[in-house]
Chains A and B, each alone.
Chain A
Amino acid sequence: MSLDLAAVRYRYAGSMSVALGPLDLSLEPGQVVGVAGANESGKTTLCLAASGMAPAVVGGHLDGAVEIDGVAASTLRPHELAQRCGLLFQRAATQLTHTTATVFEEVGFGPCNLSLARDDVVARVWWALAALGIEDLAPRDPTRLSGGQGQLVALAAVLALRPKYLILDEPTSELDPAGTGLVADGLVRAARETGAGILLVEHKTDVLARIADRMIVLDRGGVALAGPAAAVLGDDRLVELGVEPPARVRLARDLRAAGLDLTPDLAGALE
């Protein structure tokens, strides 16, 4: 059981150049794979390809295979994909329907689309809100939330479809530090509570350091670095690839550059 990309290459409609690939990737339930890379390195394209949205919804041409638990994504319709592989975008505002009066109904929008029994919808909504620890937001107007709260509600709305895999495309990119902290806490909680496999594209490597098990760094559509998150985030080539290392890695480097000897315990804690 896994989400697998094998020799995937993707071209957007009307473009001659390859935006992604060749690329191989595997994501198992319960695992968090972080993705970093400079702008235009193919991160969003990876999200679209892994979730089956590309080419099914956005068009273009995909070579190779994307399989979700052994089923080719190309054979699944968008609503079937949505129940296997949830997709979250950067901006909360564009993901909310703007047609619901409360967060509860907003989160229930997806399950309602599946024509589930009302009790089932209600159970899913409470479960999704509880998984992120945002039950207290349930009565609020979804259009009157902070950026971080809005993003968590959008994530809860995706979770309510009970996907086995979550693809998160820079969920904190438009958030201030407080909002980023809120969403990062929610992601840690979601990873623990839902058992879903998470593919997390993120510029903020501190968030990745906190949550990711494995990481890949993309460069011009291909994988430039891959491995355990701690090793990748401590790799010296990260800066060359347009990715800022986490604060603790930078601190350790600055301390060494200043001529300080770090004790093994401190070095381990920082790196």
Chain B
Amino acid sequence: MPRTRRPALPPVDRGLPDYVTRRTSGFYRELNPATKLALAALEVVVVFAVPGWLGPLVVLAIVAGVAAATRTGRELAVIGLAASPLVISIMVVNLFVLPGAADPIFHAGPIAPTWSGLWFGLLTSTRLLTFSSAVALAYLTTPVDDLLADMSRRGLGRRGVFVVGASVQMVPRTIERVGEIMDAQRARGMDTEGRIWRRARAVVPLAAPVVFGALTEVEERTMALEARAFTAPGRQTLLRAPADRASERALRWLALIALVAVLVARVSGRLG
């Protein structure tokens, strides 16, 4: 086989391509990830710290407006649906066994749902859905690599950045793996569809390969990272970093001040 001498690195005749330096565009999406996280944190605090319906409803209105502007309504609805088992259990528990509730809606033998339980269940469920929507909105409008690049630029070490990135990506990766294993189990005759108890029965033989498979991957992934100089000293070079304008920095400070103010007001009893 003919061999050439080890070639020198050619001069850069092609720079960093546009698809690497890409910028997100549009309202809210183009905000720096840290700004979106700061706003989400403020929204979460308002949802839980402001008593009654005011906090959750104001935040819900904001989230709905941003979701419409960023066209993420469908994804948020899916996330809301995923939370439905939790919402149902909150409603059932509060409706029937809220401590101290004495205003029954009706009596059916020993069962007596209460108005207080209904309202408290609705309020708690709204808080839960609003909180999860606010966080999910930040996630849905932020490319993961933008978040990681921004964290890296702010001085978080490469291990920390990688752990965050791997954790975020673990969800889709695990879903993908579950799909592969389910296909394999089905090919061997296991019934993973149909009634709920059949699906439940299929979880055990599914869980073991998912967990053990992920564990056995760890060693190879560790070596692969070492083989790519992951533990080299010094700061990682950034190929790009999301923009961070002065106005956004001011917005983050405002969000932080508002967050602290709401908490102080809550703790001091000024919010009731």
Q: Contact residues of A with B, CB < 8 Å?
A: 29-32, 48, 51, 53, 57-58, 77-79, 81-83, 86-89, 91, 94-95, 97-102, 104-105, 108-124, 126-127, 138-139, 154, 157-158, 161-162, 164, 188, 191-196, 211, 213
Say how far B178's CB is from chain A's closest CB, in angstroms. 15
* Contact indicator B20/A158 (Cβ below 8 Å): no
* Contact indicator B145/A99 (Cβ below 8 Å): yes
**A110-B228, A194-B6 are known contacts. Are A102 and B223 too (CB-CB below 8 A)?**
no
Which single residue of chain B is at the shortest CB-CB distance from A213? B1
Which single residue of chain A is at the shortest CB-CB distance from B222? A57
**A111-B237, A118-B239, A191-B3 are known contacts. Are A138 and B17 too (CB-CB below 8 A)?**
yes
Q: List the A side residues contacting B234 at CB < 8 Å.
A: 114-115
Q: Besides A97-B228, A114-B229, 7 other CB < 8 A contacts?
A: A82-B229, A97-B166, A99-B166, A113-B236, A122-B12, A191-B3, A196-B6
* Contact indicator B223/A29 (Cβ below 8 Å): no
- Contact check: which of A58, A94, A157 meets B221 at CB < 8 Å? A94
- Contact check: which of A53, A58, A123 meets B11 at CB < 8 Å? A123
- Contact check: which of B7, B13, B19 meets A102 at CB < 8 Å? B19
* Contact indicator A82/B227 (Cβ below 8 Å): yes
Q: Roughly how many angstroms separate A33 CA and B179 CA in the complex, as a whole number?
A: 39
Which single residue of chain B is at the shortest CB-CB distance from A157? B228
* Contact indicator A158/B17 (Cβ below 8 Å): no
Q: Roughly how many angstroms separate A158 CA and B237 CA in the complex, as a whole number?
A: 17
Say how far A17's CB is from chain B's closest CB, in angstroms. 20
Which single residue of chain B is at the shortest CB-CB distance from A54? B223
Q: List the A side residues contacting B224 at CB < 8 Å.
A: 89, 94-95, 154
Q: List the A side residues contacting B233 at CB < 8 Å.
A: 79, 115
* Contact indicator B228/A164 (Cβ below 8 Å): no
Q: List the B side residues contacting A31 at CB < 8 Å.
A: 3
Q: Contact residues of B with A, CB < 8 Å?
A: 1-7, 9-17, 19-20, 143-145, 148, 158, 162, 165-166, 169, 173, 217, 219-239
Q: Roughly how many angstroms separate A162 CA and B228 CA in the complex, as a whole number?
A: 11
* Contact indicator B237/A118 (Cβ below 8 Å): yes
Which single residue of chain A is at the shortest CB-CB distance from B152? A112
Q: List the A side residues contacting B239 at CB < 8 Å.
A: 105, 108, 112, 118, 121-122
**A89-B220, A121-B237 are known contacts. Are A99 and B228 too (CB-CB below 8 A)?**
no
Q: Roughly how many angstroms separate A191 CA and B7 CA in the complex, as a whole number?
A: 11
**A79-B229, A79-B232, A126-B14 are known contacts. Are A58 and B223 too (CB-CB below 8 A)?**
yes
**A97-B162, A113-B158, A193-B4 are known contacts. Are A104 and B20 too (CB-CB below 8 A)?**
yes
Q: List the A side residues contacting B225 at CB < 8 Å.
A: 97
**A115-B232, A121-B239, A161-B228 are known contacts. Are A101 and B145 too (CB-CB below 8 A)?**
yes
* Contact indicator A79/B220 (Cβ below 8 Å): no
* Contact indicator B237/A193 (Cβ below 8 Å): no
Q: Please, could you name 6 A-B residue pairs with CB atoms under 8 Å apart, sorted by A? A: A57-B226, A94-B220, A115-B234, A126-B14, A139-B19, A188-B1
- Contact check: which of A91, A99, A161 meets B220 at CB < 8 Å? A91
Q: Roughly how many angstroms separate A178 CA and B207 CA in the complex, as a whole number?
A: 32
Say how far A122's CB is from chain B's closest CB, in angstroms. 5
Q: List the A side residues contacting B5 at CB < 8 Å.
A: 30, 195
* Contact indicator B16/A122 (Cβ below 8 Å): yes
Q: Roughly how many angstroms separate A31 CA and B17 CA in the complex, as a whole number?
A: 34
- Contact check: which of A51, A99, A195 meets B6 at CB < 8 Å? A195
* Contact indicator B230/A123 (Cβ below 8 Å): no
* Contact indicator A98/B235 (Cβ below 8 Å): no
Say how far B166's CB is from chain A's closest CB, in angstroms. 7
- Contact check: which of B2, B14, B226, B237 meets A78 at CB < 8 Å? B226
Q: List the B side residues contacting A195 at CB < 8 Å.
A: 3-7
Q: Roughly how many angstroms separate A88 CA and B13 CA in the complex, as a whole number?
A: 28
* Contact indicator B12/A119 (Cβ below 8 Å): yes
* Contact indicator B238/A112 (Cβ below 8 Å): yes
Q: List the A side residues contacting B227 at CB < 8 Å.
A: 51, 53, 82, 86-88, 95, 158
Q: List the A side residues contacting B3 at CB < 8 Å.
A: 30-31, 191-192, 195
**A112-B236, A112-B239 are known contacts. Are A99 and B20 too (CB-CB below 8 A)?**
no
Q: Roughly how many angstroms separate A68 CA and B82 CA in the complex, as a whole number?
A: 54
